[in-house]
Structure formats: structure tokens, C-alpha cells
């Protein structure tokens, strides 16, 4: 074996070994999402280049992320995890709304001159709206109690009052919107965001979301392209889940920092808190007061301190709940990533398995080529025929291997039978001559075909076969068999389709028998009967052995094909002519002996006729 063959075989074997190792290492793990997920509480560390969300009143990103990932859920277990994540994130966002509303109440923004002007305009519009509402209500009561003669007048007044009410309501809304946009009314902005949040939830509850990409379901397929697409889809999903997990970890860290800061602030105010409690207790027990003003001031001071500490406690409790919700989201995403990782690993395993099959097909094709070369090298036949047979067998093996590899990569196409039928019909029409020539080569290679060196006649052209190719046959022309049979020096090529669509004569088959013919003219001066009888006896004697062998072979053929037996005895025809009598003698002979046999018969006939002539003269 040559070095390049050793190298090819070694590379294929190494690739096969690597594929087998990859299949073993990527065997599918069994278990649920809880078993494959990281331990509870584990989370990815926040990186320095992690994206930081801009400052907003209410951070709704946890819920938005959970809803976005919910569209990626494919299996039922993933859908359950997505539902849990959305539920936890919705609870965390609701707490964020409550915290934002309390913060807006507790810490109103300082009013600048511009904001104060907008706030006054809003209050003025609100007062005007209230007056209009009171006026409308009063007119409605009057309209109910008024007599019929006054109802028409009161109805007109009510219509005008309602129109004024609508106008003042629009002015109040415009003033409130201007104040909110200027940042002077955070409570209204939080309420507006909460209303939008509720509207979106109602819309999603009545409208189905878009399903997951079905491509990822092909991770258990057995075609390389499908498994590769599924693996890529699973990889993208895993990247999105990891990004959501990092966002949850960053939000959790931010909430922890807020909780720590608020806890430290609360601890620093612990002394004032205890003082407020004692003041409130003393105020509640002391029934005597020096004056109404001192009592009222003390009550307001104690009430404000208690409310402030109460809000701090609520904020701490809500921050703790939000941190817990973010941790639950983080754990859910970790379990989800575990599920996706299982299927991604299975896709990689199947991909390596398909590659292993492709390598096996390539190795089988390589080994088949080596066997074909070995077989055709030891085949006892002419070089041209062996080369043609080797080329056909190699092409067939490589074509089968290529088709198998294409099927492993792309799989069976949709409408396979229709595609194959149309492709086959088109190729048959376009390559009819080549297909018929190729099929004709198989016919010529059969038992009743031809071989290099045979004497044949194809489409009226006779000659010796010098080449039998995959698509064409080449003859060295020797003229018609009734001629002398010497080569003309011309090579004639025929497409092999003649073996199927036409016919050919092979004079070099078993026995190689052929009918030959002599033409003899008996002069009018000789007795034709004696000459004819002598010629018949002479030809019968010369061809007796060949005729017996030909009849035996033909007898075997007639028994095989069940046809009537032939007679190989010479046939003689006598015809009158202007110079005497013309005699035609047909006899059987071997193809390669026909010239020698004809020569002997002519010499014997000449001697016979010369002897008869002497006898006549005597």
C-alpha cells in the first residue's frame, strides 16, 4: 500500500476515534430541572461591563424579561418554569410600585417657581372642576323636583353646566399632565405607570403569545443540518437565559444595597425612634396639658415620627420580599438553563453521531475503492476492459457514498417521490443517448456480447473490435464479409446504444461458423451434369467435418431455445446463363478459415473441370 493510502486510512481512523470519544463524553444526562440546576442561591457574579439600567420610578425589567423569555418556552416543563418566573416577577414589580408610591408620598420633590406655578394652575383647575361638579349635581336635584313648566329651562342649564364640566376636566387633565412631565407630581406618574401595567396584563391575558421556535425540537434528529440548527437555537436560548440571570443578579445586588443603606439609616435613627415612642406613650397617658397649642404640636410631632418609622419598616419589609423574589427568579432561570443545557448536550451528541456515520461512509467508500483496484488488477482480461470496469465500479461506489452523505447532511427532502420523478424524467430526456449507451455497455459485456478482437457487423459496417468503452465501441473496418475481408485502415466508432436500440452480428461466437459461397460457370462445351455432380461431391467431402461439428453445436442451441434444427449440408443452385450454366455452392465454414477453405475449393473445382475437359476431348 502506498504512503498516501496509509495516510488517508490513518486520518479517517483518527477522526472516527475522535467522534466516538465525543459521543461518549456527550451522552445525555438524565434528570429533572431541579437535579441539573445549580444549588439554590448560586448566581453569576456581576461583571464590570454589565449593563446598568437607567434610573426610573419603577423598574419593570424583571417582568418584561420574564414575559420575553416566556415566548421561548418549548417543552411543558419550560412553560411551567416560565409561568413561575412571570408570577414571581409580577409580584416583585407590584411591590416596586407600592414602594415607589410611598416614596413619592414621603419625599415630594421641592417646588421651584415654575413647578409652583404649574401646581397652582392644577389646584385652580381642580377647584373649578369641583365647583362645576357641585353645580351639575344641584341642577340634577332641582330637575327631579321641579314642576313640568320649569323642567325645560333647568334641562338647558344642566346641559350648559355639563359642557362647562367637561371643559374644566380637560383643563385639569392638561395641567396635571404638564406638572407630571415637569417632575412635580411623582405620585401621578406612578399611578399612570401602574395603570399601563394593569392594562398590559389584561391584554396579555386575552391574547395568546407567540410560541417558541420549533427548530429546537429537532435536536434528536438524525440529519446534520437539522441537528446543527437545533443546537444553534438552543445555544441562543441559553445565552438569553444567562443574560436574564445576570440581570436578576444585578437587580438583587442593587436591592441588597438599598436594604443595607435603609437598615443602617434605621439603626442610626433608633434613638429618635425610641424617643418618639416614649413621647407618644407619655402623650397618651397625660390627660392634662398646659394649652391647646402645645398639646396639638406634641401630637403632630409624635404622629409624624411614628409614621416616618412605620414607612421605614414597610420599605425594609418590601425590599426583603423583592430580594427574595429576585432570588427565586434567579433559581428558576438556573433550572431553565439546566434543561436547555441537557438538550443542547443531546444535540451535540447527535451531531457527533451523524459526523461519525459520515466518516464511516467515507471509510467504506475508501475501502471499496481499494477492493475494486485489487480485484480489477488481478482480473484476467484486456487492459482497456479492466480499466473501464474499474472506472464504472469506482464511480458507482463514490456515487452511492456521496448520496448517503448528502442524505445524512440534509435528510430526505419534502415531496421526495415527486422530486425524484421529475428529476428522473428530466435527466432521462436530456441524457437519453448517454443513458442508452451506458446501459448498452452492460449488454455488450454480457454473455452474448462482444469482446476486443471479435469480428462483427454493426449497422452495415463490418470489422474487428479494437476498443469497447463505457459509451462507445470502435471497429477496424474490414468491409463486408462477402468481400476479401482485408482491413480498409479506417476506425469506425459507434455509441453503445446499438446493443439495445439496434442489432449487430458477431462472427466470433461459439464455433464461429458462417456460410460462404462459390460461384462457378460451366462452359456450354462441357457436360454440366457430370461437372455439377463432381462439384457437389467435392464440396461435401471438403466440408464434411465442419458440417458435422456445426450441426452438433446448432443441435445444442436448438434444444436450449426450442427452435427447429438446422442442416449444415452444402446447398447447390443451378442457373442458366448466356455462357453456359452458373452454379452457386453454399457451404459452412469457420469464420477465420473461410479464405483458406475458399482457396482449396476453387483449386479442386478447377482441377475437376480440367480433368473432365480432357475426358471429353478423348
Q: Where are the alpha helices (DSSP H) in 411-467?
A: 416-430, 432-444
Q: Of 168, 125, 170, 160, which is closest to residue 139 (Cα–Cα)? A: 160
State residue 616's pLDDT score. Answer: 34
- Cβ neighbours of 540 (radius 10 Å): 15
Q: How far apart are CA 581 and CA 577, in angstroms?
A: 5
The mean predicted confidence, pLDDT, of the chain is: 77
Asked if pLDDT for residue 288 goes beyond 80, the answer is no
State residue 563's pLDDT score. Answer: 54
Three-state SS string across 91-131, please?
Answer: HHHHHHHHHHHHHHHHCCCCCCHHHHHHHHHHHHHHHHHHH
Model confidence pLDDT, tens digit, residues 415-464:
667 767 777 788 788 888 888 888 888 888 887 788 887 878 888 888 88
Model confidence pLDDT, tens digit, residues 354-412:
888 988 888 898 888 888 888 777 665 555 667 777 888 888 888 899 888 888 888 87
Q: Picking from 40-49, 551-560, 578-587, which range would have the lowest pLDDT averaged per residue?
A: 40-49
pTM of the predicted model as reported, rounded to 2 decimal places: 0.56
Q: Which residues contact 554 (CB under 8 A, 6 or more apart)?
A: 565, 566, 568
Cβ distance 603 to 576 under 8 Å?
Answer: no
Q: How far apart are CA 377 and CA 383, in angstroms?
A: 9
State residue 548's pLDDT score. Answer: 85
Q: Picking from 78-82, 217-221, 286-290, 555-559, which range would have the lowest pLDDT averaged per residue?
A: 286-290
Q: Where are the alpha helices (DSSP H) in 146-223?
A: 148-181, 186-206
State residue 21's pLDDT score. Answer: 67
Cβ distance 590 to 598 under 8 Å?
Answer: no
Model confidence pLDDT, tens digit, residues 292-328:
565 566 666 666 666 777 777 888 888 888 899 889 9
Q: How far apart are CA 87 and CA 80, in angstroms?
A: 11
More confidently predicted of 314 and 107: 314
Q: Which residues contact 156 (CB under 8 A, 6 or more apart)?
A: none
Strand, helix or coil for residue 462: strand
Strand, helix or coil for residue 584: strand
Walk across the sheet containing 461-468 and list its strands: 491-495, 472-477, 461-468, 455-458, 504-506
State residue 94's pLDDT score. Answer: 85
State residue 185's pLDDT score. Answer: 67
Model confidence pLDDT, tens digit, residues 21-80:
666 666 655 444 444 444 444 445 444 444 333 345 678 888 888 888 888 888 888 888
| Cell numbers standing for residue 174 | 392638561
State residue 485's pLDDT score. Answer: 53
Model confidence pLDDT, tens digit, residues 228-266:
899 998 999 999 999 999 998 998 898 889 888 888 877
Q: Which residues contact 555 (CB under 8 A, 6 or more apart)?
A: 565
Walk across the sheet containing 580-590 and list its strands: 513-523, 580-590, 571-577
Q: Which residues of 209-241 are buried (b: 16+ CB within 10 A; e: fewer)?
A: eeebbeebebbebebbebbbbbbebbeebbebb
State residue 510's pLDDT score. Answer: 56
Give the model's confidence band at 140: pLDDT under 50 very low, under 70 low, under 90 confident, else very high: confident
- Cβ neighbours of 333 (radius 10 Å): 28
Cβ distance 354 to 405 under 8 Å?
Answer: no
| Residue 98, burial from CB neighbour count under 10 angstroms (0-12, 13-18, 19+) | middle
Asked if pLDDT for residue 207 goes beyond 60, the answer is yes
More confidently predicted of 508 and 330: 330
| Cell numbers standing for residue 497 | 446504444
Asked if pLDDT for residue 159 goes beyond 80, the answer is yes
Model confidence pLDDT, tens digit, residues 333-366:
999 999 999 988 988 888 888 888 988 888 898 8
Q: Of 424, 455, 612, which is closest to residue 528 (Cα–Cα)? A: 612
Cβ distance 63 to 79 under 8 Å?
Answer: no
Task: Write the DSSP string, 7-70.
Answer: HHHHHHHHHHHHHHHHHHHTPPPP--HHHHSPPTT--PPPPTT---PPP-SS--HHHHHHHHHH
Q: Which residues pair with 457 in a beta bridge?
A: 462, 505
| Residue 417, burial from CB neighbour count under 10 angstroms (0-12, 13-18, 19+) | exposed
Asked if pLDDT for residue 612 goes beyond 60, the answer is no
SS3 content of the chain, % helix, strand, coil (to 5): 70, 10, 20
Strand, helix or coil for residue 1: coil
Distances (CA, A) of 590 to 157, 461, 537: 136, 20, 20
Q: Which residue has the cell 454480457?
A: 446
State residue 246's pLDDT score. Answer: 92
| Residue 567, burial from CB neighbour count under 10 angstroms (0-12, 13-18, 19+) | exposed
Degrees to nearest 5, angle at CA 450 with 446 and 455: 165
Amino acid at each position: 500500500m502506498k504512503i498516501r493510502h496509509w495516510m488517508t486510512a490513518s486520518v479517517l481512523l483518527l477522526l472516527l476515534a475522535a467522534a466516538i470519544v465525543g459521543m461518549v463524553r456527550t451522552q445525555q444526562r438524565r434528570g429533572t430541572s431541579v437535579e441539573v440546576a445549580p444549588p439554590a442561591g448560586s448566581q453569576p457574579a456581576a461583571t464590570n461591563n454589565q449593563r446598568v439600567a437607567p434610573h426610573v420610578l419603577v423598574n419593570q425589567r424583571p417582568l418584561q424579561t420574564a414575559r420575553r423569555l416566556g415566548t421561548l418556552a418549548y417543552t411543558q416543563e419550560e412553560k411551567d418554569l416560565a409561568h413561575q418566573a412571570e408570577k414571581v416577577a409580577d409580584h416583585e414589580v407590584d411591590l416596586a410600585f407600592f414602594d415607589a408610591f410611598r416614596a413619592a408620598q414621603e419625599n415630594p420633590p421641592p417646588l421651584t417657581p415654575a413647578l409652583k406655578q404649574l401646581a397652582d394652575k392644577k389646584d385652580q383647575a381642580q377647584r373649578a372642576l369641583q365647583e362645576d361638579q357641585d353645580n351639575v349635581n344641584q341642577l340634577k336635584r332641582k330637575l327631579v323636583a321641579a314642576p313640568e313648566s320649569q323642567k325645560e329651562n333647568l334641562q338647558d342649564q344642566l346641559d350648559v353646566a355639563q359642557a362647562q364640566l367637561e371643559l374644566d376636566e380637560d383643563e385639569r387633565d392638561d395641567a396635571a399632565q404638564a406638572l407630571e412631565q415637569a417632575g412635580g407630581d411623582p405620585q401621578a406618574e406612578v399611578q399612570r405607570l401602574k395603570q399601563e401595567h394593569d392594562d398590559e396584563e389584561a391584554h396579555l391575558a386575552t391574547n395568546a403569545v407567540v410560541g417558541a421556535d420549533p427548530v429546537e425540537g429537532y435536536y434528536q434528529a438524525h440529519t446534520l443540518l437539522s441537528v446543527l440548527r437545533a443546537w444553534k437555537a438552543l445555544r441562543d436560548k441559553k445565552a438569553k437565559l444567562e443574560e436574564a440571570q445576570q440581570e436578576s443578579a444585578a437587580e438583587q445586588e442593587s436591592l441588597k444595597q438599598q436594604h443595607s443603606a435603609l437598615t443602617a439609616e434605621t439603626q442610626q435613627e433608633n434613638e429618635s425612634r425610641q424617643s418618639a415612642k416614649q413621647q407618644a406613650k407619655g402623650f397618651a397617658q397625660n390627660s392634662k396639658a398646659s394649652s391647646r397649642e402645645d398639646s396639638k404640636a406634641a401630637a403632630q410631632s409624635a404622629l409624624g415620627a411614628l409614621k416616618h418609622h412605620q414607612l421605614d419598616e414597610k420599605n425594609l419589609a418590601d425590599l426583603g420580599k423583592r430580594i427574595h423574589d429576585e432570588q427565586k427568579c434567579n433559581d428558576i432561570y438556573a433550572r431553565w438553563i439546566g434543561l436547555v443545557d441537557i438538550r443542547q448536550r443531546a444535540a451535540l451528541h447527535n451531531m457527533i453521531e451523524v459526523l461519525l456515520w459520515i466518516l464511516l461512509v467515507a471509510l467504506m467508500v475508501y475501502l471499496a475503492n481499494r477492493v475494486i483496484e485489487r480485484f480489477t488488477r488481478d482480473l484476467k482480461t484486456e487492459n482497456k476492459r479492466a480499466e473501464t470496469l474499474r472506472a464504472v465500479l469506482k464511480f458507482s461506489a463514490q456515487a452511492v457514498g456521496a448520496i448517503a452523505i448528502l442524505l445524512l447532511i440534509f435528510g430526505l427532502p419534502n415531496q421526495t417521490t415527486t422530486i425524484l420523478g421529475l428529476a428522473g424524467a428530466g435527466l432521462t430526456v436530456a441524457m437519453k443517448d448517454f443513458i442508452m449507451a451506458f446501459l448498452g455497455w452492460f449488454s455488450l459485456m454480457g454473455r452474448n456480447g462482444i469482446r476486443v478482437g471479435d469480428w462483427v457487423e454493426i449497422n452495415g459496417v463490418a470489422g474487428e473490435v479494437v476498443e469497447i468503452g463505457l459509451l462507445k465501441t470502435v471497429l477496424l473496418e474490414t468491409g463486408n464479409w462477402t468481400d476479401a475481408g482485408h482491413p480498409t485502415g479506417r476506425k469506425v466508432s459507434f455509441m453503445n446504444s446499438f446493443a439495445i436500440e439496434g442489432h449487430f452480428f458477431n462472427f466470433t461466437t461459439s464455433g464461429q461458423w458462417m456460410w460462404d459461397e462459390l460461384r462457378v460457370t460451366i462452359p456450354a462445351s462441357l457436360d454440366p451434369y457430370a461437372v455439377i455432380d463432381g462439384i457437389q461431391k467435392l464440396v461435401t467431402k471438403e466440408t464434411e467435418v465442419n458440417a458435422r461439428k456445426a450441426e452438433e453445436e446448432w443441435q445444442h442451441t436448438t434444444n436450449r431455445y426450442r427452435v427447429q434444427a438446422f442442416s449444415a449440408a452444402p446447398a447447390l443452385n443451378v442457373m442458366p446463363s448466356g455462357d453456359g450454366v452458373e452454379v452457386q455452392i453454399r457451404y459452412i465454414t469457420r469464420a477465420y478459415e473461410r479464405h483458406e477453405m475458399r482457396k482449396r475449393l476453387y483449386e479442386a473445382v478447377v482441377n475437376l473441370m480440367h480433368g473432365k475437359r480432357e475426358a471429353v476431348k478423348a
